[in-house]
Structure 1
């Protein structure tokens, strides 16, 4: 980028500090729906399974620096779109807003600012790539449900042109024309074809095998590239097919590939911005599913370990990890009967016995066509015993689950509560809560020190802007043209 284009983007207080020969990188990790209790839960569970006699320290524990307040402009309890926009645009907005301010005006994002500086950009998620968090860094729409429009902007079809160099996750259905089976679009636009014909995307990976083949290149995946590994969200980690035939890479695999590719494709002194989201931590909590929840967190921990190793060998890097909000009102220790003195326990062995998410099991049960005794036996053996490790179902549980009239959503939460109750785990809601969430950071010492303590979520976005020395208002003005 020419100097006269870059200069207005840099902050007035120190326009020359970015051009100092340093290859700066920002890695923003979002653990969606992950509250403080969930971190304790995952740590304790991992220790129980792997090293019960030794205190376990997770990859996050050593880099805890503070906490983040999560309220939005419209509510004390945020949604993911407003929460992510606080990070990306450094401003509070209303629930549902994607990359826009409270008036609906597009706001410049840290990803777009990084691109304007000539940096490479990437997004790695386990949700649809068009879901609220990645969308809020890479698009601008008044409501998060506008995923077709979000996909259009993500490939480059908006005023700024293509801003993302690498994006991987799910959400393929929003890139396919409505003439294609499984499409979520109402029109016949083929965004995969358009991305390659009109916006210079080199590769579109549709499965893990294509992903691994491209990742074998010395410099990683040639950019720009996208990976759309599922029509919808990626599978929960506990359900993901981990065999060679599996079609979805893990969050850890995508994270390693993204770091390798962004560094490998970079020119001299060219840094990058990378968003990594453990998206389905949140969705498991929405289902009140403690099994899927803990496996999503542990996979996120593995991704954090990969990033921390990168930071250790690339010191001009800022890693921030935090959550947009907590989901589920989750806690360790649950007492159901107020007339009985509480037991101060929770039982990780109950969680260890389970083998599947409640989402997969609810799908199986709703799809099962057997009736009467056959259905009741299917519930007992396939759903409860083999799926969740529950060998002592109550009559109430068997009756409800064997009833063909029970809805998918009711079954989903009922199964989660059946496990949680036995493990002494508690939930207060299938939605979000307003508690502060943990804030983690590592890398550049000055930037990390400024994140210590308790902060508004907008200050996290401001910290990234300050580290890159960019003025997001410059991007906002470009979006107005």
Structure 2
């Protein structure tokens, strides 16, 4: 066995910016965050328990980066394609409230702090993975649920080591420590103090599980986590063909590790169905497998399902790709609701929210000095055949002559094989051909201008995000109806799983005892 990456040997960021970030986290902790946390931690009413069996399933869904405007844009797009202005998305009928998203050290959170608010029920600094504002590990609801006898799962469309899934089943002072996060997820050479806490994993990020000598690896050492996982009892799959053999949950043995891409999945608009499973398929397979595994158990299951790449579309300001990501998430939410209502008698909660909004999207963009028209054009997005990320990579990989490059830009990038523009000019072609390295930003501007949608940033924004919920015992959702702080979502998940606060405190002390000073003590 190759030597493992010892958590104590991790080289963490020591930049001045990082130190300032941690220093500000401490200051914010003592000045406001702790008081803020304790002041509102009791806001939730008790989860109703009368006439609700103790055994429960919780399906927690995160639409990473999806704000209210993202939902409206996808709905308008869907109405346009269906030629019915009154058609809703499935998820629309399950709107129950909203969530405020700020982190411990900023009004604009990142995914790590946002997910830790859900998993640990506390505010922390941007970049923190399952640690408090002082950088000390906090026990997550997934870890506690597993130790109580629940079965657990993580299903995402990005790297499984990315911030959101990582925050539920690992601990790191900064989200960039993905090699260490991968080790904790499968308990590589006892990397996680509680042992293996996840029973089923579906996502991307295979590169963090392969030794550095492997051509697809992005690890910094020779640890072969996939081989180790197999030898320690995990069943491993990596192809869509192997996934289809699971027969949507009817042929699954646990623990199961499915890594279907070296890094993130492709965007839905770029999918080839023969190469990658879709989120609704992986989510349904997972909940059926976990349901079967717990059919004779006193406890049910807890699973995180993330529509991860909605966020990346926002970062890229790619409206054409984002509508497809939101619709794919809508399909996954529908599959989870139908599972809860039609395939199980166990009280099952499907709760969905976002960690934050990305891009500052608005469904209007003024393109002239005159008073603007009140409109935007979904037909522009409907003509796009690929994501801007896909087209930008194709452009950078092109190695033909200048004349061939112009033709490629005309037909394959801007034209009917790419973004589907019908009005691009020779100047547009020249602009993209002469600025290949910055083509992504230029393409997003061209698409947004034509669709008349606006973006405020390539980063995150601080707007409130929607909360959606469904249950075969509807009263179980009462505590999260209305306005919520994001940590209140975490408190609700804790309560509905029946996790005692004292247990979380004990597990947190155990984590800190075992990890010792491997996390920064500011």
Answer yes or no: same fold by TM over 0.5: yes
Partner of 2:208: 174
Query: Structure 1 residue 437 and structure 2 residue 469: aligned?
Result: no
Contact 2:98 2:465 in 1 (8 A): yes
Contact 1:112 1:163 in 2 (8 A): yes
Helix, strand or coil: the match of 2:74? helix
1:392-431, aligned counterparts within 5 Å? 392-403=423-434, 405-407=435-437, 410-431=438-459
Query: Structure 1 residue 354 and structure 2 residue 388: aligned?
Result: no
CA distance in 2, matches of 1:231, 1:364: 18
CA distance in 1, matches of 2:338, 2:299: 20
The alpha-carbon deviation at position 153 of structure 1 amounts to 0.1
CA distance in 2, matches of 1:446, 1:468: 15
The alpha-carbon deviation at position 394 of structure 1 amounts to 3.4
CA distance in 2, matches of 1:53, 1:456: 35
Contact 2:53 2:347 in 1 (8 A): no
CA distance in 2, matches of 1:176, 1:465: 34
Determine which of 73, 76, 88 is the counterpart of 1:41: 73
Determine which of 462, 471, 477 is the counterpart of 2:491: 462
Partner of 2:35: none
Partner of 2:325: 296
Displacement over 4 Å in runs of 4+: none
The alpha-carbon deviation at position 168 of structure 1 amounts to 0.4
Q: CA deviation digits over 1:55-83, x for unaligned, max 9?
A: 11212111111110000001110000000
Helix, strand or coil: the match of 1:65? strand
Helix, strand or coil: the match of 2:155? strand
Helix, strand or coil: the match of 1:331? coil
Q: CA deviation digits over 1:436-474, x for unaligned, max 9?
A: 001111214343111111111000000011111212223
Partner of 1:76: 107
The alpha-carbon deviation at position 395 of structure 1 amounts to 4.3
Determine which of 177, 190, 194 is the counterpart of 1:160: 194
TM-score, normalised with respect to structure 1 = 0.92
Q: CA deviation digits over 1:389-430, x for unaligned, max 9?
A: 112213442222111x531xx211211221111111111110
Partner of 1:184: 218
Helix, strand or coil: the match of 1:276? strand
CA distance in 1, matches of 2:145, 2:278: 26
CA 1:181–1:144 in 2, change beyond 3 Å: closer, same or farther?
same
Which consecutive unaligned segments of at least 5 residues does structure 1 have? 1-12
Query: Structure 1 residue 138 and structure 2 residue 169: aligned?
Result: yes
CA-based RMSD of the aligned residues comes to: 1.8
Contact 1:97 1:141 in 2 (8 A): yes
The alpha-carbon deviation at position 39 of structure 1 amounts to 0.6
CA 1:234–1:217 in 2, change beyond 3 Å: closer, same or farther?
closer
Partner of 1:88: 119
Determine which of 511, 515, 519 is the counterpart of 1:479: 511
Q: CA deviation digits over 1:281-323, x for unaligned, max 9?
A: 0001100011110100000000000011112134511111000
Helix, strand or coil: the match of 2:436? coil
CA distance in 2, matches of 1:326, 1:217: 32
CA distance in 1, matches of 2:365, 2:443: 16
After the TM superposition, which of the residue ranges 314-323 and 65-74 deviates more from structure 2? 314-323
Contact 2:248 2:284 in 1 (8 A): no
1:16-27, aligned counterparts within 5 Å? 22-27=54-59
Partner of 2:146: 115
Helix, strand or coil: the match of 2:268? coil
Helix, strand or coil: the match of 1:123? strand
The alpha-carbon deviation at position 480 of structure 1 amounts to 2.3
The alpha-carbon deviation at position 217 of structure 1 amounts to 6.5
Partner of 1:254: 282
After the TM superposition, which of the residue ranges 321-330 and 435-444 deviates more from structure 2? 435-444
CA distance in 2, matches of 1:406, 1:192: 37
Helix, strand or coil: the match of 2:246? helix
Contact 1:447 1:463 in 2 (8 A): no
Helix, strand or coil: the match of 1:362? helix
Contact 2:248 2:288 in 1 (8 A): no
Partner of 2:245: 213
CA distance in 2, matches of 1:391, 1:380: 10
After the TM superposition, which of the residue ranges 359-368 and 267-276 deviates more from structure 2? 267-276
CA distance in 2, matches of 1:21, 1:451: 20
TM-score, normalised with respect to structure 2 = 0.85
CA distance in 2, matches of 1:366, 1:343: 36
After the TM superposition, which of the residue ranges 147-156 and 257-266 deviates more from structure 2? 257-266
Contact 1:214 1:222 in 2 (8 A): no
Partner of 1:197: 231
Contact 1:121 1:164 in 2 (8 A): yes
Partner of 2:256: 225
Partner of 1:55: 86
The alpha-carbon deviation at position 216 of structure 1 amounts to 6.0
After the TM superposition, which of the residue ranges 449-458 and 163-172 deviates more from structure 2? 449-458
Query: Structure 1 residue 286 and structure 2 residue 310: aligned?
Result: no
The alpha-carbon deviation at position 372 of structure 1 amounts to 2.5
CA distance in 2, matches of 1:414, 1:79: 25
The alpha-carbon deviation at position 353 of structure 1 amounts to 0.8
CA distance in 1, matches of 2:512, 2:162: 24
Contact 2:248 2:281 in 1 (8 A): no
CA distance in 1, matches of 2:249, 2:358: 39
